[in-house]
Amino acid sequence: MFKKVLIANRGEIALRIIRACREMGVATVAVHSTADANAMAVRLADESVCIGPPSARDSYLNIPQILSAAALTGADAIHPGYGFLSENAQFARMIEEHGFVFIGPKPEHIETMGDKVVAKQTVKKLGLPVVPGSDGAVTSVEEGLKFAKDVGFPVLIKAASGGGGRGMKVVRAPEEFAEAYSTARSEAKVNFGDDTVYMEKYLAKPRHIEIQVFGDRHGNAVSLGERDCSIQRRHQKLVEEAPSPVIDEKKRAEIGELAAETIRKMGYVGAGTIEFLYEDGQFYFMEMNTRIQVEHPVTEMVTGYDLIAEQLRVASGEKMTIKRNNTTFRGHAIEVRINAEDPDTFTPCPGTITQFHTPGGLGVRFDSAIYQGYRIPPHYDSMIGKLIIHGRDREECLRRMRRAIMETVVEGVKTTLPLHYWIFEQDEFVRGDYTIHWLEKKLAER
């Protein structure tokens, strides 16, 4: 096991990693920007190093500064968390070239899965079902229109290097195609430095189902069941739950075995998430995230495994403690992402937290790095915490979540907590009858 781990991230995920390391007897180094000098992770880590000014480009995305901090503090390994450099193959290679261990998958797997076209081609060969789509990049309007004519409208244009809904356009008729194609390429270029796009058949009423997978260096590969991440706004997840209300044990076992076998064939090492669209009883591969997910606590609550601790074990060369595919969950878990945003307009609301109280009780977990008097900086993502609830079944979980949201106090800034309470009061959500489009339609009706 490592003696010292540097955490190349901030906020609640940095704190989450520190906690796992401390329980395993591993020392930690927190890197931070000047804006995060008083962050909780900086306070609780064994050591801290300032790596630059507030701009992420000059701090959390500054590879030379991060590597210098690792060398200065004598770290053995670097954990990237999620976001920032977590899926940057060049960063992973540079870590290894400088004699550190990257706590994540092999750089070639990050690279392969980072290109949505290559990823789709790769998993299709390995046996995963995919959405009908173009064989590769679509390089002209004429080529795109031919594909759309073959599979039928509506179709989806997607950035090959994209994510988070950027560079993604739904086209419902031929006359809309040229403008949507141009806009998708422009957005892809601005956001990802790559204007390559591809196309897929647009599914009208899908769920967003993702499978947590894990592999080690000893040839072991497992799945840990699914998470339902269909409650979204503009392709951004707001609520995640496990198990999905619409997946039965047979389908869970089938897709879990397929996912585990896929990463086994790849020789994949570490935590990963294979994401699917699910419609009319069929799974369709969407993408693979080669990192720990924001919503990993949902899986932890229903399986009992510490996924960050497993990452550390696997990266250090040990066998993972997960012995087999876990297709039977213990109870039900739901997570809500709490953002410092106006719950009606979704405008970011940075500022100082004047009052703060977390909920408690059986089955309640609150992952956050904020505290009373903490100033939320305006330079980064607006998520300030995650409320994760576990219950014996979904009904108990829903009741407990409503109670926990009512107990949570975050004053001084606006948050999305009122929105979450409203979601949990909606009949369709209570019934588990929702798709990836449900929330936006409901918000438009309010």
Q: What amino acid positions are annotated as catalytic residues?
A: 291
CA–CA distance, 294 with 133 (Å, rounded to integer): 28
CA–CA distance, 30 with 6 (Å, rounded to integer): 6
What does residue 264 show for φ and ψ, rounded to 5 degrees?
-65, -45
Task: Say if CB 418 and CB 345 are below 8 A apart.
Answer: no
Task: Say if CB 226 and CB 209 are below 8 A apart.
Answer: yes
What does residue 18 show for φ and ψ, rounded to 5 degrees?
-60, -45
- Name which of 107, 109, 171 is nearest 145 in CA terms: 171
- Name which of 325, 122, 319 is nearest 213 in CA terms: 325
CA–CA distance, 55 with 58 (Å, rounded to integer): 5
For β-strands 168-171 and 236-242, DSSP reports them as unpaired
Output the DSSP codes for 215-248. Answer: E-TTS-EEEEEEEEEEEEETTEEEEEEES-TT--
Q: Cα 357 from chain centroid?
A: 26
Helix 89-97 with 107-114: angle, nearest 10 deg: 170
